């Protein structure tokens, strides 16, 4: 009797060489990298450990991280504010993070704009913090990340921004209470936040899977 449906090997990415379990692990570390302050090298070393890790490579890990960053850029940042299809709009944010500029050239209220553009599946109370607090968390994530990477390559800034926006939006949408920005980086909070963003991303990718990466 013919099969009535085909269950994808990996529901999150079309024609991927990674299994569902492998992709889930890689995508979880994608968020741990930014919340834990790990370098890409350290992140890859941890992912490569164990039996499943032996089927990965550092190159494939970076390719999937970049693909998730591009996905979030298009489906979170640009979808919420099409002006950011022009990546040069990030130049003012870039200058502020690296120090030449003392003030931001525009609001960069990316988290607020995204949350307004996406109806939540269930009512949430939010963090109770101001939009300025959300932006400050976003900037702090990017500053800490740039210290780890010793700057962002030209083709990486938009990916880093997209990931940081998604993490901030997940915190706000789920009503996670933060006493201060420093609370974001306290253990075990960093793992809690990574897991929160991870579960939301997986739910999104089941409905809108990545195109083939490897």
Q: What was the pLDDT predicted at 1?
A: 44
In a domain, 28, yes or no: yes
In a domain, 32, yes or no: yes
In a domain, 7, yes or no: no
With helix as H, strand as E and coil as C, how does 37-50 read? CCCHHHHHHHHHCC
Which SS3 state, helix, strand or coil, does residue 103 take? coil
Residue with tokens 């307004």: 116
Which SS3 state, helix, strand or coil, does residue 121 take? coil
**Tens digit of each residue's pLDDT (9 = 90 or more) over 96-113:** 888 777 788 888 889 988
Range of 131's domain?
Answer: 20-207
In a domain, 3, yes or no: no
**170's tokens:** 């997940």
* Residue ranges in the chain assigned as alpha helix (H): 20-35, 40-48, 58-72, 79-80, 91-98, 110-117, 131-149, 157-173, 181-184, 189-207
Q: 176: number of CA atoms within 13 Å, CB side?
A: 22
> Is 198:27 a contact under the CB 8 Å cutoff?
yes
Q: What was the pLDDT predicted at 62?
A: 94
Which SS3 state, helix, strand or coil, does residue 120 take? coil
Q: What was the pLDDT predicted at 53?
A: 63
Q: What value does the CA radius of gyration of the chain take, rounded to a whole number of Å?
A: 17
In a domain, 214, yes or no: no
Number of domains observed in the structure of the chain: 1
Count of residues in the chain: 214
**Distance, CA of 129 to CA of 109 (rounded, Å):** 14
Strand ranges inside 128-208, DSSP E = none
In a domain, 212, yes or no: no
**Tens digit of each residue's pLDDT (9 = 90 or more) over 66-94:** 999 999 999 999 999 999 999 999 999 98
Q: What percent of the chain has pLDDT over 90?
A: 52
Q: What was the pLDDT predicted at 3?
A: 46
**Tens digit of each residue's pLDDT (9 = 90 or more) over 117-157:** 875 444 344 444 556 788 888 999 999 999 999 888 878 99
**Tens digit of each residue's pLDDT (9 = 90 or more) over 24-71:** 999 999 999 999 999 999 999 998 886 666 678 889 999 999 999 999
In a domain, 6, yes or no: no
**Distance, CA of 84 to CA of 74 (rounded, Å):** 9
Q: What was the pLDDT predicted at 52?
A: 63
Other Cβ atoms closer than 10 A to 183 = 12
| Position 177 pLDDT exceeds 80 | no
| DSSP state, residue 85 | G
This prediction has a pTM of: 0.88
In a domain, 142, yes or no: yes
């Amino acid at each position: 009797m013919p099969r009535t449906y085909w269950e994808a090997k990996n529901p999150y990415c079309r024609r991927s060489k990674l299994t569902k379990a492998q992709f889930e692990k890689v995508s979880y570390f994608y968020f741990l990298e930014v919340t834990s302050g790990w370098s890409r090298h350290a992140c890859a070393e941890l992912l490569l450990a164990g039996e499943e890790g032996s089927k990965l490579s550092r190159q494939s890990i970076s390719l999937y991280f970049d693909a998730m960053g591009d996905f979030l850029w298009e489906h979170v940042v640009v979808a919420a504010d099409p002006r950011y299809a022009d990546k040069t709009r990030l130049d003012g944010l870039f200058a502020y993070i690296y120090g030449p500029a003392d003030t931001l050239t525009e609001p960069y209220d990316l988290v607020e704009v995204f949350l307004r553009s996406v109806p939540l599946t269930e009512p949430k109370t939010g963090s109770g913090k101001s939009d300025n607090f959300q932006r400050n968390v976003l900037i702090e994530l990017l500053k800490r990340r740039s210290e780890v990477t010793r700057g962002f390559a030209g083709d990486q800034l938009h990916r880093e921004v997209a990931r940081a926006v998604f993490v901030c939006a997940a915190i706000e949408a789920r009503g996670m209470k933060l006493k201060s920005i420093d609370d974001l980086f306290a253990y075990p909070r960093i793992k809690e936040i990574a897991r929160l963003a991870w579960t939301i991303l997986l739910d999104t990718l089941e409905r809108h899977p990545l195109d083939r990466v490897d």
